[in-house]
A and B are shown apart, each in its own frame.
Chain A
Amino acid sequence: QSALTQPRSVSGSPGQSVTISCTGTSSDVGGYDYVSWFQQHPGKAPKVMIYDVTKRASGVPDRFSASKSGNTASLTISGLQADDEADYYCCSYAGSYKVFGTGTTVTVL
């Protein structure tokens, strides 16, 4: 199975919005409403931000939102803050297992 495709990096100034795409196939992203998004700061364990495509995990600010269209899922961070600078990974159910995206580094300029 192949990793889901994410842009290597995205950047934005504080207060701006950035969107990260996550492209898979009809066998994973497009086939199920089970896409999660994880945030990982350097040296730390990942933290779930979004699950089941659009649902925010407990304690996650509403600046984080997500959606899916066809084989592509997206995570949008609005009102970018310094602490949002991190790596982000999507993850999709793929029938009997899960597959992660390639990861995107978000830089706050």
Chain B
Amino acid sequence: QVQLQESGPGLVKPSQTLSLTCTVSGGSISSAYYYWSWIRQPAGKGLEWIGRIYISGNTNYSPSLESRVTISVDTSKNQFSLKLSSVTATDTAVYYCTRSDNAWGQGTLVTVSA
């Protein structure tokens, strides 16, 4: 059974870049059958789709975040990553990684504050 685990700094300063990694276990990230996505949720608010990557390297991003987001994959480590640049307090949220929006990590809280 596939499991996903987010990791990265829990505190990021405004204007800096948020970087998170999702480690996949119990399955290969190299499967062409799936895509790997990031979704976030501010406290007490709804879900926001950030973007996804296929093992081919093709990516899709939310238009509202596209200018600041990069998602990449490292098959040698069975991991994929999220980078969000120029963060502000509005980027404070629980960030989830998923496999095809089906299997989810437990989520990690990232707070943007000086």
Chain A positions within 8 Å of B, measured between CB atoms, are 1, 3, 36, 38, 40, 45-48, 51, 57, 89, 91, 96-103
A101 touches B102 (CB 8 A): no
Report the interface size class on chain B.
10 to 19
The 6 closest A-B pairs by CB, nearest first: A45-B104, A103-B46, A98-B49, A100-B47, A96-B60, A97-B60
Stretch of B15-23, B61-69, B71-79, B81-89 on the interface side:
B61-69
Return 29 A-B CB contacts under 8 Å, by A number.
Answer: A1-B62, A1-B63, A1-B64, A3-B46, A38-B47, A40-B47, A45-B105, A45-B106, A45-B107, A46-B39, A46-B47, A46-B96, A47-B104, A48-B101, A91-B49, A91-B101, A97-B49, A97-B51, A97-B60, A98-B52, A98-B101, A100-B39, A100-B46, A100-B47, A100-B49, A101-B46, A102-B46, A103-B46, A103-B47
B101 touches A36 (CB 8 A): yes
